C-alpha cells in the first residue's frame, strides 16, 4: 500500500489535495522547485511509459 505521495510544488499543492490525503491516510511530501532529480525514480518511470506509448 502506498503511504507517501511525493510531488513537486505545482498545482496539486492545494487545500483539497491535503484534505484528500488526510482523509485517506496518505502523507504528502513536496520536492524543492525546479529539482526533478529529487523525484528521480518516478521521473524515470514516466520516461519509460512515454517511450513505450510512442513505440505502439
* Grid cell 482523509 in the structure block, residue: 23
User: What is the extent of the structural domain holding 14?
Assistant: 4-55
pLDDT digits (tens, 9 = 90+) for 7-50: 877 667 778 888 999 999 999 888 887 777 777 777 788 889 99
If one counts the domains in the chain, the total is 1
> Alpha-carbon distance 30 to 6, whole Å?
6
The answer to whether 13 and 21 have CB atoms below 8 angstroms apart is: no
Burial 9-22 (b: 16+ CB within 10 A, else e): eeeeeeeeeeeeee
Report the predicted TM-score, pTM, of the whole model to 2 decimal places: 0.55
Amino acid at each position: 500500500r502506498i503511504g507517501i505521495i511525493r510531488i513537486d510544488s505545482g498545482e496539486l499543492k492545494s487545500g483539497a489535495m491535503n484534505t484528500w490525503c488526510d482523509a485517506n491516510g496518505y502523507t504528502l511530501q513536496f520536492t524543492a522547485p525546479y529539482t526533478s532529480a529529487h523525484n528521480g525514480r518516478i521521473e524515470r518511470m514516466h520516461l519509460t511509459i512515454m517511450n513505450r506509448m510512442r513505440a505502439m
